[in-house]
Amino acid sequence: MAGEAIVRIRDTEEKAEKIIEEANLKSRKIIEKAQERKVDFIAEKDKLLAEEEKKIREKYENEKKSEIEKLKKEEQGKIEAINKAYEKVYPKIVEFITNEIVKG
């Protein structure tokens, strides 16, 4: 009777060890799968962030080019206005200087 009890205890211990081993194996598999998913998720996130960064950079570059062109046109207009004013006044300046030299 005591021998049978010892055998049953050993059988129970062996079954418990097998259950624990199976549980450990399952938990390792779950952890590995979760780590794989994490790596995949991070890769996808990085890809999406890179695409978004590219879009933002392109938008910024386009806006910058547009503003530069607008400023160039404005400055060109100012330069042309100064040149026109100078062309109008230049003959008068030459005449004034010439008259002053002749009077002198």
Band of the pLDDT at 17, cuts 50, 70, 90? very high
Backbone φ and ψ of 19, nearest 5°:
-60, -45
57-88: string of b/e by CB count within 10 Å (b at 16+)? eeeeeeeeeeeeeeeeeeeeeeeeeeeeeeee
pTM of the model: 0.52
- Model confidence pLDDT, tens digit, residues 58-96: 999 999 999 999 999 999 999 999 999 989 998 888 888
Please determine, for residue 104, whether its predicted confidence score (pLDDT) is greater than 70: no
- Model confidence pLDDT, tens digit, residues 20-66: 999 999 999 999 999 999 999 999 999 999 999 999 999 999 999 99
